[in-house]
Amino acid sequence: MTSALFEPITVRGVTVRNRIWVTPMCQYSAEQQDGMPNDWHLVHLGSFARGGAGAVFTEATAVLPEGRISPQDLGLWNDAQRDEFARIVRFIHSQGAAAGIQLAHAGRKGSTFRTWDERRGTVPADDGGWPTVGPSAIAFPGYEEPAALTTDGIRGVADAFAAAAVRALAAGFDLLEIHAAHGYLLHQFLSPLSNTRTDSYGGTLANRARLLLETIDAIRAVVDDGVPLSVRFSATDWVDGGWTLEETQTVARWAAEHGADLADISTGGNVPAAHIPVGPGYQVPFATAVRAAAGLPTIAVGLIEEPRQAEQIVATGLADVVMLGRALLRDPNFPLRAAAALGVAVDYASQQYHRAPIGPTTP
């Protein structure tokens, strides 16, 4: 049987073996609060590569220390972090998967407790926290007020993304993603709810998108033309007066003109009071709408949990790739199980597990 889900996809100079990719998922597991990946990240990410995923993306990886979400988040602001990531990338490649990294800056949503901590809000300095920054001095509800970035500070953010991209490629990563979603710094600039600046980085849509486009430009200036670059957007803030699908479509088109190759479409995250109608595949229509308007291949995310559901999304052109999170946490072998369910023979099931095959394989 043929399957759109298991057709390889080529983006610039990189060919990925299938359309089931691992979405970035924060692990809050950097033990020394130094942004360093460790054995947890090796096993966590490596299990998805062994399980048949096409591309395995790291969690949101901070380009600056103050860009972390929590003190336990990963970072890529120094060469020691680069070298630890290289070990993980080598294993991902050894299993036939592509390695992707999501580069991020949390902005006003930084310096927070990890999700399973009983405490909420901003981490005190004595516990490893730090002062946060944002486009404007507007706090995310329940967090401390950020300092509004200066113009020099804004330029420093774009430069930090570019420096992290260079380190990522030196570590062996194949695909880069800019995190401009979920209420983190670049999304904060995009949304009028968090950006009330009156200079060239605020007000009009072009001004609010300026930092994102400058970040794309900064990365494209230092990486090879064959390197694919994705941008994750929240397609809507889900509240009146916030960031909208129509604005996402426009900025995604601008992003493509500046050198982005994929639009990874999620929603929400910039305000806590949004009413989001969650259900299976609830964000897929946004990916479809951006794909149609911006002329960019898109990645769909959000409660994609069954093989035939994923196949239908790709086969009918609703999106070009699906990214899975919870489904892969429950079963890192989801891609192999999906191949079996769809009757597709694949040649990348681990030989070490040959006593427990999952569906048909080729020699």
> What does the domain layout of the chain look like in residue ranges?
9-353
The model's pLDDT over 307-358, given as tens digits with 9 standing for 90+, comes to: 999 999 999 999 999 999 999 999 999 999 999 999 999 999 888 888 887 7
Is 269 a residue whose pLDDT tops 90? yes
How much is the mean pLDDT over the chain? 96
Q: What angle do CA 77, 83, 85 make, to 5 degrees?
A: 80
pTM for the predicted model, two decimal places: 0.95
Q: For residue 79, what are the β-bridge partners?
A: none
Q: What angle do CA 33, 39, 41 make, to 5 degrees?
A: 75
Average pLDDT over residues 116-137: 95
Give the Cβ contact number of residue 115 at 10 Å: 10
Q: Rounded to an integer, what distance in angstroms lies between the CA atom of residue 297 and that of residue 57?
A: 18
- Lowest mean pLDDT of 84-98, 101-115, 117-131, 342-356, name the range: 342-356
Q: For residue 57, what are the β-bridge partners?
A: 100
Distance from the first to the final alpha carbon of the chain? 17
pLDDT at 208: 98
Is 359 a residue whose pLDDT tops 80? no
Q: CATH homologous superfamily of domain 9-353?
A: Aldolase class I (3.20.20.70)
Among all residues, which ones are annotated catalytic?
Answer: 184
Do 357 and 322 meet the contact criterion of CB atoms below 8 Å apart?
A: no
Is 113 a residue whose pLDDT tops 90? yes
- Lowest mean pLDDT of 152-161, 215-224, 266-275, name the range: 266-275
pLDDT at 357: 78
Instruction: Report which of 243, 135, 256 is spatially closest to residue 182, judged by C-alpha positions.
Output: 243
Average pLDDT over residues 120-134: 95
Three-class DSSP category at 292? helix
